[in-house]
Chain A
Amino acid sequence: MIQELAANPFFGIVLSVSLYLIGQQLHKRWPIPLFTPLVFAIVMTIVTLLLMDISYETYFSGGQYINMWVTPATVALAIKLKKNIAHLRENVAAILSGIGIGVVFHTVIIVLLSLTFQFNEELAATLFPKSVTTAIALGVSESLGGIASLTVAVVVFTGVLGAVVGPTIFKWLKVTDPVAQGVAMGSGSHAMGTTKAIEMGDVQGAMSGLSIVLTGIAVVILAPVGLLLIQLLFS
């Protein structure tokens, strides 16, 4: 009986959306990382499915209807890019070189650490897109042969971590320029970093939002190089 009901698409949808809403309420009261609505919803959905002995495939008969919106939402990032493109013109050299250097550097670190820990091809591909927004990371990971669900988890964790440590890093390194702060938050920890950047100020927020998209595009452009590196070094 439970299995049949769980296979109904509305089971997965209601389960995940309700947990997300509960997470929002909890996060409002206790703003700790575990109560970030997305983190809470993922963890609690998994716990519920395991306790009720429901498979991921069964859950996904509903989950797919949420999942299919990722693509149009990613496409819609073009609107954010269009609205913030004016900010780019004012500091185009600084922003583009910052993001370019950052993305290349990030790839090098991922490759070096993956070699150190003797990760396989699949894990390296999973980690490669970790600093970009989930939608783009998901696509890049899939096209490089990574584990999509693990990429989502890694990306989410990166976002939560970046939002927490970002302000401290800026204090230590005396990064006081609001443009620099925004670009760093957006390119290093995507949408969650942007949430923090918006709290830091309007300039930071706009820059961070712009940087999410630019970093995503940079990672996509670099992906063929990443794929080549991964194939050369990890197989």
Chain B
Amino acid sequence: MKIIKQLFWLFLFSFLGELLSYLSPIAVPGSVLGMVLLFTALQFNWIGMEQVEDVGEWLTNNMAILFIPAGVGLMTNFGIISSVWWQLLVVIFISTTLMIALVGVVVQLIIRRSRVRSGQHAARVSPLWKGEKVSDPGTRS
């Protein structure tokens, strides 16, 4: 019964997301709108974490298997792939490495700066530390 109830919420928010996507003028996937709606509901305690947690975590932890049918759809696109496969590989390689490099460097730079400003040492990195003031990029000197 508990699983059915949890499934019900996830299906309901899936449908609400699709509905909103259908009604909205811009192209936003219904699944993402559903996610934003569920997050809002959780944040404002309209829905308790325990009402969706078990099934939801199970789904997100085993997500990979759900993409097999979509991926197998590749077999209908062999024509396109065979004409641009190496270009695709180049695009993927360049964009992925540069993205990871840039995001890593930028985030580290901003964290270090804010830590220097609030007088903390870079070594004290832990998700548990408290009291660090979050820097406001607008007031950096």
A contact set with B: CB distance below 8 Å: 12, 16-17, 19-20, 37-38, 41-42, 45-46, 49-50, 56, 59-60, 63-64, 66-67, 69-82, 85, 87, 89-95, 97-99, 101-102, 105-106, 109-110, 113-114, 117, 119, 123, 127, 130-131, 133-136, 138-140, 142-144, 147-150, 152-154, 156-158, 161-162, 165-166, 169-170, 173, 175-181, 183-185, 187-189, 191, 193, 202-203, 206, 213, 216-217, 220, 223-224, 227
Given contacts A75-B34, A161-B92, whether A203 and B99 have CB atoms under 8 Å apart is: no
Residue on A nearest B17 in the bound complex, by CB: A75
State whether the Cβ of B46 lies closer than 8 Å to any Cβ in chain A: no
8 cross-chain pairs, A with B, having the tightest CB-CB distances, nearest first: A139-B29, A149-B73, A63-B69, A143-B27, A184-B104, A76-B56, A188-B100, A98-B107
Contact B137 A177 (CB under 8 A): no
Contact B77 A150 (CB under 8 A): yes
CA gap between A19 and B110 in the complex, in Å: 44
Q: Which one of A92, A110, A153, A184 contacts B71 once the chains associate, using CB atoms below 8 Å?
A: A153
Contact A169 B97 (CB under 8 A): yes
B contact set with A: CB distance below 8 Å: 7, 10-11, 13-14, 17-18, 26-32, 34-39, 42-43, 49, 52-53, 55-57, 59-60, 63-77, 80-81, 84, 87-88, 90-108, 110-112, 114, 122, 125-127, 129, 132, 134-137
Q: Add 5 more A-B contacts to A82-B39, A149-B74, A184-B107 (CB < 8 A).
A: A66-B66, A94-B107, A123-B80, A143-B29, A223-B28
Residues of B within 8 A of A150 (CB): 74, 77, 80-81
- Mostly helix, strand, loop or mixed at chain B's interface? helix
CB<8 Å pairs between A and B, sample of 5: A74-B31, A74-B35, A76-B38, A117-B84, A117-B90
Residues of B within 8 A of A42 (CB): 67-68, 71-72, 74
Contact A76 B52 (CB under 8 A): yes
CA gap between A74 and B34 in the complex, in Å: 8
Residues of A within 8 A of B111 (CB): 91, 94, 177, 179-180
Contact A41 B59 (CB under 8 A): no
